[in-house]
Amino acid sequence: MAENEKHQISIEISEKEAEGIYSNFFLIAHSPHEFIIDFARMLPGLPKAKVFTRVILTPAHAKLLLSALEDNIKKYENQFGEIKHHRQEKKPFGF
């Protein structure tokens, strides 16, 4: 097999996981050995967010994820235009 040939991977996803989980808030922590990303959902007027999914990655895989996200965001913006985001001022919840 030539060195530049890509290996194909078959990926299986169950119906439940294929539905996905909506997240509008995330938290990231790390140690010397892993990155932990909690995907949560915040609702207007409620003072806390509920974590629905936690993903634990090695530092190398976290960097690969960053690269893949950057690549996909560039592709998205080339097709649909710049993604705009508004960082909210730090205020107490509910105000």
Q: Give the integer Cα–Cα distance in Å for 57 and 10.
A: 21
Per-residue pLDDT tens over the stretch 7-20: 899 999 999 999 99
* pTM passes above 0.85: no
Residue 94 pLDDT: 44
Q: Give the integer Cα–Cα distance in Å for 85 and 21.
A: 21
Q: Give the integer Cα–Cα distance in Å for 95 and 92.
A: 6
Per-residue pLDDT tens over the stretch 1-60: 455 567 899 999 999 999 999 999 999 999 999 999 999 999 999 999 999 999 999 999
Question: Do 25 and 42 touch, CB atoms closer than 8 A?
Answer: yes
